[in-house]
Amino acid sequence: MVAGSRPTSCRNYRCWIERLNHITESKTLKFALEKTTEDMEQQIIRETFHLVSKRDENVCNFLEGGLLIGGSDNKLIYRHYATLYFVFCVDSSESELGILDLIQVFVETLDKCFENVCELDLIFHVDKVHNILAEMVMGGMVLETNMNEIITQVDAQNKMEKSEEATLGMRVSFVTVYSIAR
C-alpha cells in the first residue's frame, strides 16, 4: 500500500504531486480537487504511473501531456527517488528545470522535517506532508521555494501544535513510534 498526494489543480495551471509505488496499486491523497471526477482522478493516477514507471533511468524527466492531463500544453515532470516517484503536472507557465528543482526542495524539506524521511512517514503523516506541500504550492501555484523559510513555517506550526497539546495535558505519552506498522 502506498499513499500519495492528489492533484492540486486550477484551471489554467495545474501542479500536482503524487507518489507512486512500483509494487502496488497506487493510493492517493488529494490536495485539492478540480472539476475532475473521482474516477477520472484515479484514471489519471493509473495512467501516469503506467507512463512514468516504464521509463528508463536516463531518459528525460519530462513527458508530453496526454489528453488525460489536459492536452499538449501540460507536461508531466517527475523525479524518481528509490521506490517513490514524485510527479508534477505543470502547464507551460512554469520552467521545466525549475519544477525539477522544486521537487528536490520538497523532498529535501520532507527529509529535514521527518529526519530521514521514509515512505511510512508519508503514509502515517499525510496531513503533515500536506502542510509542508501547502507551504510550497498553493492552489496549484508555486508559493515558496526557500527551504529554510518552509521549515520555519512548519516549525512554528509544530510549536503551536505542541503547546495546544500541552495545555490539554494529554496524548504526550504516545511518543513511541509505530514500528508495528511494518
The residue type at 22: H
Handedness of CA 166, 169, 173, 177 (dihedral sign): negative
CA–CA dist 74, 179 (Å, integer): 40
Q: Least separation, in Å, of the C-beta of 73 and other proteins? A: 7
Cβ neighbors of 92 (< 8 A, separation 6 or more) are 73, 74, 75
Q: Least separation, in Å, of the C-beta of 84 and other proteins? A: 16
Cell of 53: 514507471
Q: Least separation, in Å, of the C-beta of 75 and other proteins? A: 9
Q: For residues 22 and 162, which CB has a smaller minimum distance to other proteins in the complex?
A: 162
Q: Least separation, in Å, of the C-beta of 86 and other proteins? A: 14
Q: In terms of C-beta distances under 8 Å and separation of at least 24 residues, what long-range contacts does 28-31 make, across chains too?
A: 28/3, 28/4, 29/3, 29/4, 29/5, 29/126, 29/129, 29/130, 30/5, 30/6, 31/5, 31/6, 31/7, 31/130, 31/133, 31/134
Q: Least separation, in Å, of the C-beta of 83 and other proteins? A: 15
CA–CA dist 90, 39 (Å, integer): 21
Q: Least separation, in Å, of the C-beta of 165 and other proteins? A: 6
Q: Would you say 32 and 14 are in contact if contact means Cβ atoms under 8 Å apart?
A: no
